[in-house]
Amino acid sequence: MITLTNLRKHFPGKSQTRAVDGLDLTVPAGKLVTLLGPSGCGKTTTLRLIAGLERPDEGEIAIDGRTVFSSDRRGFVGAHQRPIGMVFQSYAIWPHMTVLANVMFPLREGHEKVSRPEARKRALAALELVHLSDLADRPSPMLSGGQQQRVALARALVRQPKVLLLDEPLSNLDAGLRDRMREEIRALQQRLAITTILVTHDQEEALAVSDEIVLMNAGKIVERGLPQEIYAAPRSEFTARFLGLSNALPGVVRSVAADTIEVDLAAGALSARRFEGAATGDQVTVFLRPDSFKLTRRQHSTSAWPGQVEFSIYRGDCWDYHVRVGDDLIKARVFQEKIGLSRGDQVYLEPDESGMVMPLTEGSPGKDPLDLTVSPQASVGTGADA
């Protein structure tokens, strides 16, 4: 288990913003927790503080029940004495060594050196974990990007650490390889039940592999939760926008009933489950994901919004259409469509109200978010030929 208490870090310079600003976080044993956020949000700095590569200004860090940093007690345990393994974004593979020598390196050069035969045995076992034992004697420069990533992972695991730290480990790989390595890392983490912190700016990666996501911005935690919870019902506008809720529509609360709330948008009215604190006349922002629309060429419902296609993007398994509805440009994702629409085509958008999300605006901590579930993909985004 990892515990961070009131952790703060500020780098010298003109900016008065702390890279990490009063962070409190607990990572349960055996779980994979992802620090997610935009560049400069403090996630990599947090990882480096846990690793002991940076010294915090304030706070406390405990790993597996042992305090490795405390500003109050002025204690600091160096990186080489912490029970961690780390995979860097650049992998940091030694080019003059073989694969086996790279993985043996921490055992032969660390503060707790082991004999060469034992180091070789443990290194081969680590390579077996990542399916590279048959390449043990290959020179490192002859490896592909995915193989280098696996070597770095084996080297991080060879010391049998309590904690695995991954800093953007897949960012240098192409899309197809990134997907495969993502699956392998998740499978390995679950098999070993090792406590893991992953840093990434890729929301898809975070949703795919995490037991829990911690979303950061400006050195602080904005929101944390299970991937499915933080995706389906974000509690803040920042979270909604960062996690792909690209349709943000301003509206006004028309009415509030016992169980529902009705919101007037420029394109029409939508209703959803009531949330505590909602009042008639409140100005709100409603979010709808692109796949929360049924797009058709003909109007099948009086509630459908008429619009015109401005441009489209083909993604292989779907089309993304950008549709002008009044003053709003709405992104709709359509599956199961063989022929794309063209600029200027008249279409109709029928929003799925169960996919509507209305999180708290920033600075409004007194309200609870709307309790909504995003509708299954199978029920939305049906073909545009209807």
Displacement of CA 223 from its chain's centroid (Å): 12
Residue range 2-232, CATH number: 3.40.50.300
> Per-domain residue ranges for the chain?
2-232, 237-379
Q: What is the pLDDT along the chain (386 residues), one digit of tens a residue?
A: 999 999 999 998 756 778 999 999 999 999 999 999 999 999 999 999 999 999 999 999 999 999 999 999 889 999 989 999 999 888 788 899 999 999 999 998 867 788 999 999 999 999 999 999 999 999 998 998 889 989 999 999 999 999 999 999 888 888 888 888 899 999 999 999 999 999 999 999 999 999 999 999 999 999 999 999 998 888 888 998 898 777 999 999 999 888 888 999 999 888 877 666 778 998 888 889 898 999 999 998 888 999 999 999 998 889 999 999 999 999 999 987 767 789 999 999 999 888 888 876 554 433 333 333 333 333 333 344 44
- Residue from 3, 32, 2, 27 nearest 191 by CA: 32
171 Cβ neighbours under 8 A, 6+ residues apart: 89, 200, 202
Q: What is the predicted pLDDT for the residue at 358?
A: 80
- Of the CA atoms within 13 Å of residue 194, those in its CB half-sphere come to 26
Architecture of domain 237-379: Beta Barrel (2.40)
For tokens 């008639």, what's the residue? Answer: 280
* Residue 374 near residue 283 (C-beta atoms within 8 A): no
**Angle subtended at Cα 118 by Cα 115 and Cα 123, rounded to the nearest 5 degrees:** 120
